[in-house]
């Protein structure tokens, strides 16, 4: 493994993590086994060992131990988790004013990370001639973590890209998901106006040792071959994209980003969540073929200004049915009905979403 940032100053190295298609875990561990007892992949070991090392050396804003967690009674099986310190000790979120706010080098951004906050540099090798490898990604700790292993995936920070999802970043993130053997390794993106905290291009990735309904709920097809579906019967209705394996990730990432750009053109914000999951038809649609990657895209009315650190903000986690709560009374008293009211409030009504869905079908076909 090659050395990188900070080595000449005696600081920890950013580990060069070179991977190929042979490293993809195509049949990841399922929920039938205890997730944390499942065999870890080379990627899981490198990420979690580096993350734990940084936690032991005090590089986070707070020490994260086991968090009180419960699944709310109800059909949605919402996972609630109490994380008081994230609400009180995280860096103040930036003031977001528009869906196309330019990158501001004077505001906090990821060029200011200390070298020892960087864990890995992901670099793909050995792609076939029909597809260029995704750009390398830096894996950095999130200094205010949601859960064990919460990291940020960053394209070259010096490029100063604003928080608008790009196909190269999403494809690289989805390949990272296939490198993990843990069923609860998730990816997410908060767009501008969708509770993004930093206007500098990044994905979130974290481990959550609980299944979520969005992994398995069946979706209604909107166009042939499962290219786009409409997912209901989940905490918040979403557009669903699916890839059975690595061969489909480049096209999927391109489709998701074209759809997200269309939402922005329509004056809507968006959030994205990626997880291992069943085909759009649900578990029965797999016909024994196993799980692929589900990518959910939510359209939502924009929320501008700086989000409150101690409030119940609706971002990618909440929309997916994972509720990190910043206060003990909220955690104690939260019900499924109350959570669903909050989660669905910024999301347009189903008729508007279906109209948007038909626009997206025409866009993707064109």
Q: How confident is the model at residue 306 (pLDDT cuts 50, 70, 90)?
A: low
Share of the chain above pLDDT 70, in %: 89
The question of whether 200 is a catalytic residue gets the answer no
Q: What is the DSSP letter of 96?
A: B
Please report where in the chains the tokens 């980003």 appear, as a residue.
Answer: 257
What are the C-alpha distances in Å from 108 to residues 11, 306, 308? 22, 14, 17
219 bridge partner residues: 231
pTM above 0.75, yes or no: yes
Contacts of 213 (CB under 8 A, 6+ apart): 76, 77, 233, 234, 235, 321
- Give me 338's structure tokens: 């109350």
Q: What is the DSSP letter of 41?
A: P
pLDDT tens-digit readout, 176-230: 999 999 999 999 999 999 999 999 999 999 999 999 999 999 999 998 766 899 9
Q: At residue 299, what are phi and psi to the nearest 5 degrees?
A: -90, 140
Average pLDDT across the chain, whole number: 90
pLDDT tens-digit readout, 136-181: 999 999 999 999 999 999 999 999 999 999 999 999 999 999 999 9
71 bridge partner residues: 79
Pairwise CA distance, residues 226 & 219, whole Å: 10
The structural domains of the chain, ordered by start, are 7-365 (3.30.428.70)
Q: Look at residue 137 in the predicted model and tell me its pLDDT.
A: 97
Q: Look at residue 130 in the predicted model and tell me its pLDDT.
A: 64
pLDDT tens-digit readout, 24-66: 998 766 787 666 666 689 999 999 999 999 999 999 999 999 9
The active-site residue, picked from 202, 204, 210, 358, is 202
Pairwise CA distance, residues 158 & 112, whole Å: 10
Q: Strand 203-207 relative to strand 185-190: parallel, antiparallel, unpaired? A: antiparallel
* Residue 174 parent element (H or E): helix 167-179
């Amino acid at each position: 493994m090659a050395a990188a940032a900070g080595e000449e100053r005696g600081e920890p190295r950013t580990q060069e993590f070179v991977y190929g298609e042979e490293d993809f875990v195509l049949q990841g561990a399922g929920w039938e086994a205890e997730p944390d007892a499942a065999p870890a992949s080379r990627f899981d070991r490198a990420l979690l060992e580096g993350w734990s090392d940084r936690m032991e050396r005090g590089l986070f804003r707070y020490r994260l131990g086991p968090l009180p967690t419960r699944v709310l009674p109800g059909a949605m099986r919402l996972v609630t988790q109490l994380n008081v310190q994230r609400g009180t000790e995280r860096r103040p979120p930036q003031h977001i004013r528009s869906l196309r706010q330019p990158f501001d080098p004077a505001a906090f951004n990821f060029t200011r990370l200390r070298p020892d906050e960087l864990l890995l540099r992901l670099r793909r090798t050995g792609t076939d001639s029909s597809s260029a490898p995704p750009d390398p990604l830096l894996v950095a700790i999130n200094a205010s973590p949601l859960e064990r292993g919460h990291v940020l995936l960053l394209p070259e920070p010096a490029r100063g890209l604003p928080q608008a999802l790009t196909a190269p970043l999403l494809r690289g993130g989805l390949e990272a998901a296939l490198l993990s053997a843990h069923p609860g390794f998730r990816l997410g993106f908060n767009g501008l106006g969708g509770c993004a905290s930093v206007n500098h291009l990044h994905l979130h990735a974290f481990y959550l040792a609980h299944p979520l309904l969005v992994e398995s709920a069946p979706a209604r097809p909107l166009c042939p071959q499962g290219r786009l579906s409409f997912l209901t019967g989940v905490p918040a209705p979403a557009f669903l994209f699916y890839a059975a394996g690595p061969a489909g990730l480049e096209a999927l990432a391109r489709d998701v980003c074209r759809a997200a750009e269309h939402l922005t053109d329509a004056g809507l914000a968006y959030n994205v969540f990626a997880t291992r999951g069943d085909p759009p038809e649900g578990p029965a649609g797999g016909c024994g073929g196993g799980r692929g990657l589900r990518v959910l895209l939510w359209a939502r009315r924009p929320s501008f200004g700086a989000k409150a650190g101690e409030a119940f903000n609706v971002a990618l986690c909440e929309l997916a049915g994972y509720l990190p709560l910043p206060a003990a009374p909220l955690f104690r008293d939260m019900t499924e009905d109350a959570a669903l009211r909050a989660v669905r409030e910024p999301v347009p009504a189903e008729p508007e979403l279906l109209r948007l869905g038909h626009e997206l079908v025409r866009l993707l076909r064109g």
